[in-house]
Amino acid sequence: MKKVSIICLLALQMVVMYSCADDDTTITDETTTEESDVVEFDDTDFETTDWTEETHSKDADPNFDEVFEDEAVKRLDIVISETRWNSMLTDMTTLYGTFGSHSGGNGLSDSDEDPIFVPGEVFYEGKEWYRVGIRFKGNSSLQSSWSSGILKLSFKLDFDEYEKEYPQIDNQRFYGFKKLSLKNNYNDKSMLREKVAADVFRDAGLAVSHTAFYTVYVDHGDGPEYFGVYTMVEEVDDTVIDTQFSDNDGNLYKPDGDGASFASGTFSEDVFVKKTNEDDADFTDIQDLFTALHAANRTTDPEAWRSELESILDTDTFLKYLAVNTVIQNWDTYGRMTHNYFLYNNPDTERLSWIPWDNNEALQRGNGQGAVSIDFSNVSSSEWPLIGYLYADETYKAQYDTYVQETLDTAFNTSTIQAKYAVYSALVEPYATTEVSGYSFLNSSYDFQTAVNELYNHVSERTSTAVSYLNN
């Protein structure tokens, strides 16, 4: 926050450049929704004067201390030309209808297209990152925010998306990171849940994205506008598998759709979207998991069933994840929804490892059917066999129970988590309560503290529930 004046000056310089360029706009003939790298004007003649190896180069190791500092709220400025910003809004209208229209009842469409990328500038601590690929991101959260008329939308940043168009930014990185997500904390008036949930998973020893708080300002032609408090999230297919596994060459899947439940007969390659090795059409590892999970010897020879399953799936990691996820409550993921997790085939073990993702709906009872019960009494084994089949096995149930106790003792210890809430809420409150109408999910500044108080109560309630479960 100390270099706001420098950032604003740089942003103003970019606005002036774009304004001058827009007077002589040249649209190419290749303009399409999919081809978002259209050069609307000649902006290829520039120098990367702020470029250093530490801040911009691919050769630098990811600087987690700088980008994902826990006890801080940092500022990020995004500058996009008016023309390109309008193209982003037009694309959103095509995908999801008129902004603020609440069309279609709940405002959700069945579009499976991502919003378009456009090149823009990112400013942080007085430094500029050039022609960064910027787009809106999200699924139901993006559509709901848009249809509600709230412009506080999540962003995805890809720092070398346009390196072919702009050779000056070849392999551009942001302190070692190629891609980053800025999550808008949708449906979370505390603005803490995405960060705290990730902290809990990490403290439990699970692979998970790093997170941090940022305020985001966007200049799309009229100077910087405050878009509010965001949570920066590390991308799994960028640095998570690169730094939290010893080998990043394995298949990484982001499942989404019916087959992501692992129910019998639901496998489809389209559901298991590859984020690495995309050109390799081999899905044997996922098919093998379906086969092992639904093998006939599950009930007749459990030991043989477990042995085969464990040769394909890292069951220990999954059961630890399941215990943590269930104790903290997280309804928008496996067990209720067929998305919001990754599977990584770790080359070191040749087994699929579970990685949690998109945790803004955690740490609450949940919408719709609510979060799953700690004993899974409200979960259909046939619909969610990775939960139902493993929990029905005495060996795996005992392992799950052990991890429930460990979660209470360490990663989700009541006093530790409440202290974390106190620190984080004190950091975020000045920025959360000054969000402005149209760029906030808060109806008033009181909403923030009310939501934080609910988190304090929630951890106490979950501790009581888990202790009662273990004592039965």
pTM of the model: 0.90
Mean pLDDT of the region 311-339? 97
The rounded mean pLDDT for the chain is 91
Mean pLDDT of the region 96-115? 73
pLDDT of 11 = 42
Own/partner pairs, 22-25, CB within 8 angstroms, 24+ separation:
22/81, 22/82, 22/83, 25/83
Q: Band the pLDDT of 198: cuts 50, 70, 90.
A: very high
- Lowest average pLDDT, out of 6-10, 239-243, 285-289, goes to 6-10
pLDDT of 18 = 38
Q: Band the pLDDT of 34: cuts 50, 70, 90.
A: very low
| pLDDT at 40 > cutoff 70 | no
pLDDT of 3 = 38
User: Residue 426 is encoded by which pair of tokens?
Assistant: 């004190």
pLDDT of 369 = 87
pLDDT of 454 = 98
- CB of 153 closer than 8 Å to CB of 172: no
pLDDT of 185 = 97
Model pLDDT for residues 141-151, shown as the tens digit of each residue: 999 999 999 99
Q: How far is CA 360 from CA 99, 123, 357, in A?
A: 23, 26, 9
- CB of 108 closer than 8 Å to CB of 140: yes
Q: Band the pLDDT of 314: cuts 50, 70, 90.
A: very high
Model pLDDT for residues 119-147, shown as the tens digit of each residue: 999 999 999 999 999 999 998 899 999 99
Q: How far apart are the first and last CA of the chain?
A: 52
Which of the pair, 22 or 214, is modelled with greater confidence? 214
Mean pLDDT of the region 182-198? 98
pLDDT of 367 = 84
pLDDT of 468 = 98
pLDDT of 267 = 98
User: Residue 70 is encoded by which pair of tokens?
Assistant: 């826990």
β-pairing, 211-219 with 73-79? Answer: parallel
Domains in the chain: boundaries? 4-243, 252-409
Q: Band the pLDDT of 102: cuts 50, 70, 90.
A: confident
Model pLDDT for residues 211-231, shown as the tens digit of each residue: 999 999 999 999 999 999 999
β-bridge mates for residue 79, sequence order: 121, 219
| pLDDT at 39 > cutoff 80 | no
Calpha distance 62→351 (Å, rounded): 26
Model pLDDT for residues 59-71, shown as the tens digit of each residue: 999 999 999 999 9
| pLDDT at 5 > cutoff 70 | no
pLDDT of 108 = 55
pLDDT of 42 = 85
Judged by phi (left if over 0) then psi (alpha if -120 to 50, else beta), residue 368 lies in left
| pLDDT at 10 > cutoff 50 | no
| pLDDT at 451 > cutoff 70 | yes
What percent of the chain is modeled with pLDDT above 90?
A: 87
| pLDDT at 37 > cutoff 80 | no
Which of the pair, 83 or 35, is modelled with greater confidence? 83
Model pLDDT for residues 256-304, shown as the tens digit of each residue: 999 999 999 999 999 999 999 999 999 999 999 999 999 999 999 999 9
Mean pLDDT of the region 419-437? 98
| pLDDT at 186 > cutoff 60 | yes
